[in-house]
A and B are shown apart, each in its own frame.
Chain A
Amino acid sequence: MRAALAKFWEGDLAWSWRHTPVAIVATILLAILLIASFGADVLAPHNPFDLATINLIDALKPPVWHADGTQEYLLGTDSQGRDLLSALMYGMRVSLLIGLAAVTGAMFLGIVLGLISGYAGGRIDALIMRIADVQLSFPAILIALLIDGVARVVVPGDMHEVIAFPVLVGAIALAGWPQYARTVRGSTLVEKNREYVQAARVIGISSPVIMFRHVLPNVLGPVLVLATVHLATAIITEATLSFLGVGVPPTSPSLGTLIRVGNDFLFSGEWWITIFPGAALVLLVLSVNLLGDWLRDALNPRLS
């Protein structure tokens, strides 16, 4: 393990990372955000879900640098008196979880279908690609919206909360698999004709093993770049859906929900309720995008 890590550090990718200031900054930023989100239980100054600790008297307090602000609530409070910083950290966690889960789902589905499509060829390939093409001609957000909306209608009201998360993750994942499938299929087609695959076939190794053990590692590069871009998109999609009111249930708000709630207070001057979650969202997506950009350039086989 240590040897593998050492080898990675010496390699081209790590060298590129070390010499690209933007990548380093983005990684640090992302790390901070990740720690703040997943460590929210421990790190957050307050617990916004514990009704006992919420004080209505503290409602609508501005951030600490304002005249009326206090150090207790660094970024201010919302209309219920909940600490915005803590709500933000928990909200980020929700957004991240959904985003990561959706990307994993889409990647899994897309890779499997892409491998099968590329390797099997013929009718199966045509069918899968046809579905992918048709789906790609519709914007992902619409597909996610549709799946979510339909699920909402189909499922009786009391079940909504329970299924909200899986449906949301599933919707975003289903909206995103075609890109992976297309990319993986393309790479598979290329690898299929390489000698090492033909040699494996001759030896008698079964197709699935060839596909996953041999072809897959070679097609992972572009998939990784796609995944980072997709993570950013997934987070935005979830935030949009939550903002529209058809995403996460209000009991576990994501950044999108927080923004929506805060929007009502924009005109009365309590801007922080919407701006800080907004800023967190932007920082999150931005750092992912920056890393994705760097990764794409670093993995690009060009003369450096």
Chain B
Amino acid sequence: MTNTTNNQALSNSTDDATTAVNATDRVATNDPTNVLEVKNLSVEFTTRHGTLKALNEVSFSIAAGEVVGVVGESGAGKSLTGAAIIGLLEPPGRISGGEILLAGRRIDQLPDDQMRKIRGREIGAIFQDPLTSLNPLYTVGHQITETIVTHLPLTWSQGRNRAIELLEATGIPAARERIDHYPHQFSGGMRQRVVIALALAAEPKLIVADEPTTALDVSIQAQIIELLKKLCREHGAAVMLITHDMGVIAETADRVVVMYAGRIAEVGKVRDVIHAPRHPYTVGLMGSIPSIHQHVERLVQIDGTMPRLNAIPQGCAFNPRCVKVMDRCKIERPELQTLGSSQVACWLYPEGENNER
């Protein structure tokens, strides 16, 4: 497979983000510098108990090179969003509405063989468990080189050299020898470094990282996150960092998307959301982060639990647990409103108004 339009297949400037792989497919969007735009994405599951809406009109965007954290409790729909973006939604789940745009090009309805070319080359993925992410029967080098030569016009030995460079960049010592080792010969943290190398191997412009450190020892979590951020910056890749750990987001992300029950509660710059959260759910989340700087007797806990998919309340999904609930919240579902550089879906900030808290 030769990329005839760009001989410098190895270049990774952010300009590439705006040059679609197939120039004729470019579609006009709101902001052409956004690597990813998700508009009103809905995902449904058809089970014998009926149709469950797991994602209900989710919208957000990721600009080139930025790190966007997607945070929420288990079951909020974060991983599903990631899966939908990569195009690996498992049946009986399917996209039932909305659009996903990659660098201005619509990808949610692409046939599988076209999507395959995008996966790895334009969107990379990192999953939670590094042990099960790697095929135990192939060497680490084989798996990286294979990914490289699948997407880039390099020979196997050229690809292998690149693989060694990648391994070195991820901080694996003696990369030249260890490239021929099998996954089980690496420790957990090392394996996740290999996974990061694999995700970046074909120079994608977006990395979807689903709980990349959850399965690792606490002591190495910070290292791996740092590595991820650094490498993505170097390679010019944006990151969609899915996690339930607000602390990780605070350290790493530029912006954050707060999800609840398959919907977005709030989107904004990390600093703003952490120090001045608007949505009551976000307020609760922030209050639950322990901080060295503050002295608190108890951590804030939000009463109740997130509703199951088949029992989502009418109106705002958070209303049963909200301390600032109003009558309107129980009837109408709030839309995402823009407030400065943030967006909130809450009736405390109804449309058209710009409230100061």
B92 touches A15 (CB 8 A): no
Counting CB contacts under 8 A, is A304 at the interface?
yes
B92 touches A303 (CB 8 A): yes
Which residue of chain B has its CB nearest to the CB of A12? B48
Which residue of chain A has its CB nearest to the CB of B45? A303
Contacts of A304 in B (CB 8 A): 47-48
Q: What's the nearest-Cβ distance from chain A to residue B289, in Å?
A: 30
Q: What's the nearest-Cβ distance from chain B to residue A9, in Å?
A: 15
Which residues 90-106 in B have Cβ within 8 Å of A in the complex? 90, 92
Contacts of B90 in A (CB 8 A): 303
Tell me the interface secondary structure of chain B in the complex. loop
Q: How far is the CA of A304 from the CA of B49 in the complex (A)?
A: 10
Which residues 1-24 in A have Cβ within 8 Å of B in the complex? 15
Interface size counted on chain B using CB atoms at 8 A: 4
Q: What's the nearest-Cβ distance from chain A to residue B212, in Å?
A: 24
Which residue of chain A has its CB nearest to the CB of B92? A303
Which residue of chain B has its CB nearest to the CB of A16? B48
Q: How far is the CA of A304 from the CA of B91 in the complex (A)?
A: 9
Q: How far is the CA of A303 from the CA of B48 in the complex (A)?
A: 11
Q: How far is the CA of A304 from the CA of B48 in the complex (A)?
A: 8
Question: Which of the listed residues B47, B48, B90, B92 has the most CB atoms from chain A within 10 Å of its own CB?
Answer: B48
Contacts of B92 in A (CB 8 A): 303
Q: What's the nearest-Cβ distance from chain B to residue A193, in Å?
A: 21
Contacts of A15 in B (CB 8 A): 48
Q: What's the nearest-Cβ distance from chain B to residue A105, in Å?
A: 38
Q: How far is the CA of A304 from the CA of B52 in the complex (A)?
A: 13
Contacts of A303 in B (CB 8 A): 90, 92
Q: How far is the CA of A15 from the CA of B47 in the complex (A)?
A: 13
Q: How far is the CA of A260 from the CA of B331 in the complex (A)?
A: 77
Which residues 101-142 in B have Cβ within 8 Å of A in the complex? none
Interface string of B44-75 (1 = CB under 8 A from A): 00011000000000000000000000000000
Interface string of A286-304 (1 = CB under 8 A from B): 0000000000000000011
Q: How far is the CA of A89 from the CA of B47 in the complex (A)?
A: 44
Q: How far is the CA of A52 from the CA of B251 in the complex (A)?
A: 95
Q: How far is the CA of A179 from the CA of B90 in the complex (A)?
A: 34
Q: How far is the CA of A303 from the CA of B90 in the complex (A)?
A: 10
Q: How far is the CA of A15 from the CA of B92 in the complex (A)?
A: 18
Q: How far is the CA of A15 from the CA of B90 in the complex (A)?
A: 23
Which residues 251-304 in A have Cβ within 8 Å of B in the complex? 303-304
Which residue of chain A has its CB nearest to the CB of B93? A303
Which residue of chain A has its CB nearest to the CB of B47? A304
Q: How far is the CA of A19 from the CA of B235 in the complex (A)?
A: 52
Q: What's the nearest-Cβ distance from chain A to residue B91, in Å?
A: 9
Q: How far is the CA of A15 from the CA of B48 in the complex (A)?
A: 9
Q: What's the nearest-Cβ distance from chain A to residue B46, in Å?
A: 10
Interface string of B80-96 (1 = CB under 8 A from A): 00000000001010000
Interface string of B34-50 (1 = CB under 8 A from A): 00000000000001100
Q: How far is the CA of A303 from the CA of B91 in the complex (A)?
A: 9
Contacts of B47 in A (CB 8 A): 304
Q: How far is the CA of A178 from the CA of B154 in the complex (A)?
A: 54
Q: How far is the CA of A15 from the CA of B49 in the complex (A)?
A: 11
Q: What's the nearest-Cβ distance from chain A to residue B77, in Å?
A: 16
Which residue of chain A has its CB nearest to the CB of B90? A303
Q: What's the nearest-Cβ distance from chain A to residue B288, in Å?
A: 27
Q: How far is the CA of A303 from the CA of B93 in the complex (A)?
A: 11
Q: How far is the CA of A172 from the CA of B72 in the complex (A)?
A: 57
Which residues 172-227 in A have Cβ within 8 Å of B in the complex? none
Contacts of B48 in A (CB 8 A): 15, 304
Q: How far is the CA of A265 from the CA of B48 in the complex (A)?
A: 54
Q: What's the nearest-Cβ distance from chain A to residue B79, in Å?
A: 14
Q: What's the nearest-Cβ distance from chain A to residue B40, in Å?
A: 26
Q: What's the nearest-Cβ distance from chain B to residue A106, in Å?
A: 35
Interface string of B175-191 (1 = CB under 8 A from A): 00000000000000000
Q: What's the nearest-Cβ distance from chain B to residue A74, in Å?
A: 44
Q: What's the nearest-Cβ distance from chain B to residue A290, in Å?
A: 22
Q: What's the nearest-Cβ distance from chain B to residue A213, in Å?
A: 33
Q: What's the nearest-Cβ distance from chain B to residue A110, in Å?
A: 32
Q: How far is the CA of A303 from the CA of B309 in the complex (A)?
A: 15
Q: How far is the CA of A288 from the CA of B47 in the complex (A)?
A: 29
Q: How far is the CA of A304 from the CA of B92 in the complex (A)?
A: 8
Which residues 166-209 in B have Cβ within 8 Å of A in the complex? none
Which residue of chain B has its CB nearest to the CB of A19? B48
Q: What's the nearest-Cβ distance from chain B to residue A14, in Å?
A: 12
Q: What's the nearest-Cβ distance from chain A to residue B16, in Å?
A: 38
Q: How far is the CA of A289 from the CA of B90 in the complex (A)?
A: 30
Q: What's the nearest-Cβ distance from chain A to residue B340, in Å?
A: 41
Q: What's the nearest-Cβ distance from chain A to residue B63, in Å?
A: 35
Q: What's the nearest-Cβ distance from chain B to residue A176, in Å?
A: 33
Pull 5 A–B residue pairs with CB atoms less than 8 Å apart, ordered by A.
Answer: A15-B48, A303-B90, A303-B92, A304-B47, A304-B48
A residues apposed to B, CB below 8 Å = 15, 303-304
| 5 residue pairs, one from A and one from B, having the closest CB atoms | A304-B48, A304-B47, A15-B48, A303-B92, A303-B90
